[in-house]
Chain A
Amino acid sequence: MSNWDTVIGLEVHVQLATKTKIFSGASTAFGAEPNTQACAIDLAMPGTLPVLNKQAVHYAVMFGLAIDAEIGKESAFERKNYFYPDLPKGYQTTQLEKPIVGRGNVEIELADGRKKTIRIHHAHLEEDAGKSLHEGDFRHGVSGIDLNRAGTPLIEIVSEPDMNNAEEAIAFAKKLHSIVTSIGICDGEMSQGSMRFDVNVSVKPSGSDTLGTRTETKNLNSFKFMEECIAKEVERQIDLIEDGGTVLQETRLYNGDTKVARSMRSKEEANDYRYFPCPDLLPVIVSDETIEELRRNLPELPDARQARFVEQYSLSDYDAGILSSDAAMANYFETAAEKSGNAKLAANWTMGELAARLNNEDLSIANSPVSAEQLAGLIVRIADNSISGKMAKQVFEGIWAGEGSADEIIDARGLKQVSDSGALEQMVADVLAANQAMVEDYINTDEAKRKKKLGGFMGQIMKASKGQANPQQVNQILAKKLNELL
């Protein structure tokens, strides 16, 4: 047992999937040419004024409902003042005193099956800043500013320091990802910055009631980086204290590529943000009717979906949990299950071959080259014994490579499995006749060890059929014919 307890709290920035920005009509689409999606408001041109995007408010309320939180019926925007070139107004419009989402709870499940509730302190609406492109990313000796992201709506979710290790923090982060994608308020594309995590970490002597000094590591955008960063930071703090030093309250950055963390600014260097209510925006009033309507139309939450998958598709709790943890994956699975009529195979293929392949290529399921409908077509051919499992993998590769549907690839490659029993009986008989020595050997082997000998015959038969014989059927016929010889 370690002599130290770890305490972790997260601040999570979630980009809301609105078409336009939180205070302007400019598009929020990712990946456009720099500064092509920034209008006069986003550029903070003199005289321009913000108008609140109602959809962003509704999305924030939906999040509140999803975590069973108090909804701020009258929330308010404030200005957080600081100078930075990618912050065009010189202040961020955000919420402080009156956030739109109050206290709530998120339940996580850990590897050992243990459940834990992480309390949410609040969640508030705010605008994202633009991006600074420094040397290396941009021209030599020049920094560039891309304001396409400026004004993208965010909710910042602030947890209580309720997590005690990286596993819990990751489980919480994944659960939030699952919730916001399930209710459709965020596309969940971590690599595009759609969810970013600030991790607050402190350590204290085991059992102590006093929290240690915390550090905040900002802007982690992958679960893997988060895990690495927490491990390193906990180790750093413990080493520091055990060597007689003290942890400084500071903001840190973690570089996921180089695995190096560094201090960004200390508490002394922290800005005085001079928050005050934004006079350009009215208080945000959310009526009971709106809340009830959003509640009625709230999409299925991950926990409910998991239970339904177990019930409706007879999946194990574990499989249902994995499939429901990501909304896109869950939707994919359901489409594949329904189109193929075989939920078990759909689940296995979605979590197995497909997930592995996507992971290898660093693709999200939304960008999968194999659609759920195509996978269903493949599953139908596996289920009706047209193709073997081995063939199925080849067909899957073909679909991935864009060669067409399962049936088209099976035809084109001549992968049809031979399941005609007459033809198979003949094939088995031919192989036995041609391999008398092996047959003798089989007959003379102890009964207990005979099974092992079957493989040799199988290999010959599959070879003779060019791999197209249905292996289960061949197995049956072979066993029957050999037993007749005993």
Chain B
Amino acid sequence: MHNLTIAELIRGLQSKEFTSVELTQHFLDRIGSLNPAYNAVITVTAEQALKAAAAADQRLAAGNAPALCGVPMLHKDIFCTNGVRTSCGSKMLDNFIPPYNATVVENFEAAGAVVLGKTNMDEFAMGSSNETSFYGPVQNPWDTDCVPGGSSGGSAAAVAARLAPGATATDTGGSIRQPAALCGITGLKPTYGRVSRWGMIAFASSLDQGGPMARTAEDCAIMLSCMASFDDKDSTCIDREVPDYSATLGQDIKGLRIGVPSEYFSEGLDPGTEKAVRAALAELEAQGAELVEISLPNTGLSVPAYYVIAPAEASANLSRFDGVKYGYRCEDPKDLQDLYTRTRAEGFGEEVQRRILIGTYCLSAGYYDAYYGKAQQVRQLIQQDFEKAFASVDVIMGPTCPSPAFKFGSKGDDPVAMYLEDIYTIATNLAGLPGMSVPCGMVDNKPVGLQIIGNYFDEARMLNVAHQYQQVTDWHSAAPEGIL
């Protein structure tokens, strides 16, 4: 059952080939036996899941079940779950049990999905390797000596290891696409404002966006149709009808203009990765798409701009974790200053502290214009790059990240090397555009991701292109050794 896609599971549940309770128990068993090797899931809600599955079976029997009724899934531990610990991968929130659900969690609940538990992640979504989690790193199911990517590494590894058919994730600078690429699954970061951020613990508010992870584009379409909604609790959420993304997956891609930015194939790109991505582009060309050389000249500025804007916003977003109201509090503070200092020094990990310091510095009197002000200007330039490009192409494609999964610790001492991991993904966050990663090959038995960037609210087209590609290739169905 664990090799079935979400689309197949829905059909199986509706035709009563298996019950949701059977399915849920099956995945819970897999989490029980396999998760210790991967550390992808950090909270298992077995009792609640089985109860929800039993309720789903009743609805399925009654014949009026909603879209995802009875389908098991996982939530990234950044989404608040009412009554279930939501840690954001941090010691700071190790004891935090929200009294409310994120809108994304509500949406899946309304669609009848069964939540198996919460997935591991880089602390406060800050990281590209899942090494910054308070709960320890996640192992990549393709090679347990390698990272799964981050920050949604737990969700990506769980889907790759078939611990769940789909999982929610978030992407601030590549945190859906990069781990999807490194774990050989499909992941989509929607247009900023498409998915509500209510109840999604903020890292960098102007960049954060939730999205689905699954093995196929078709499954991502099913999940996104449920995940996206207009939410008046999030002022940045955009009031725009959510299409049925599954309904538009059958279109051929003849005449599709694919922009191929030269900046995405320059130095630093692993040759094996380039080869796999070029092969994928050739395959799409063979299906009738047209490849157009384009330039995104400010790509090189995206990483520096991002590492000003994201930490600046984070430095304020994380100020609420002060030991006063909830979460971690240091032992026996001697005064207020001591309470703040030790709570935050003990409760936050090194990378989170680094970014708070960077952000605080960038916003300081005398530095604001040189850093934050300049970064906002760069952000506009990057947006303009994409605007120009989309005047002549329908989608943009390139590698998701420069190389396949790397070994634990290999970039741990060099934050800049780690930050460059997101060089191809960050620009879309700065522009607010949707981006996707689709498995497109292997290098040394490790997956490679093809990135598809769309215009604003063009998720339906991106999903269709990815689906068409997956109709003629089978990289997405490859499984890590020992998984089947």
Residues of A whose CB lies within 8 Å of any CB of B are 40, 43-52, 79, 81, 83, 85, 88-91, 145, 272, 274-276, 279-282
Contact = CB atoms under 8 A, between A and B. Distances in A.
Given A46-B96, A46-B98, A276-B316, A85 B336 contact: yes
Interface string B305-322: 000000011011011111
B235 A52 contact: yes
Contacts of A88: 320, 324-325
Contacts, number: 99
Contacts of A45: 98-100, 325-326
A90 B360 CA distance: 13
B473 interface: no
A408 B289 CA distance: 94
21 contacts: A46-B86, A46-B96, A47-B80, A47-B197, A47-B200, A51-B235, A79-B316, A81-B319, A83-B340, A85-B322, A85-B336, A88-B324, A90-B322, A272-B364, A274-B363, A276-B312, A276-B363, A276-B372, A279-B206, A280-B205, A282-B235
B469 interface: no
B368 interface: yes
Contact of A49 (B233, B321, B336, B372): B233
Nearest to B92: A46
B319 A91 contact: yes
B372 A280 contact: no
Nearest to B337: A83
B326 to A, nearest CB: 7
B235 A47 contact: no
A46 B234 CA distance: 14
B202 to A, nearest CB: 7
B325 A43 contact: yes
Given A46-B96, A274-B364, A280-B202, 19 more contacts: A40-B100, A43-B326, A44-B320, A45-B99, A45-B326, A46-B86, A46-B93, A47-B102, A47-B198, A49-B198, A51-B235, A81-B319, A85-B324, A88-B325, A90-B316, A272-B365, A274-B315, A274-B365, A280-B235
Interface in B298-347: 312-313, 315-316, 318-322, 324-326, 336, 340
A51 B236 CA distance: 10
B23 interface: no
Interface in B335-382: 336, 340, 360, 363-365, 368, 372
- The size class of the interface chain B forms with chain A is 35 or more
A88 B320 CA distance: 6
B356 to A, nearest CB: 11
Nearest to A79: B316
Given A85-B324, A274-B363, A47 B98 contact: yes
Contact of A46 (B201, B312, B324, B363): B201
Contact of A89 (B79, B233, B320): B320
A44 B202 CA distance: 11
A280 B201 contact: no
B72 interface: no
B199 interface: yes
Contacts of B197: 47, 49
A274 B324 CA distance: 22
Contacts of B98: 45-47
A89 B236 contact: no
A276 B319 CA distance: 14
Closest 7 CB pairs of A and B: A90-B319, A279-B206, A274-B363, A279-B205, A47-B199, A44-B320, A46-B201
Nearest to A77: B235
Nearest to A274: B363
A91 B198 contact: no
A150 to B, nearest CB: 11
B319 A48 contact: no
Contacts of B360: 274
A46 B320 CA distance: 8
Contact of B201 (A47, A91, A276, A281): A47
Contacts of B202: 46-47, 280
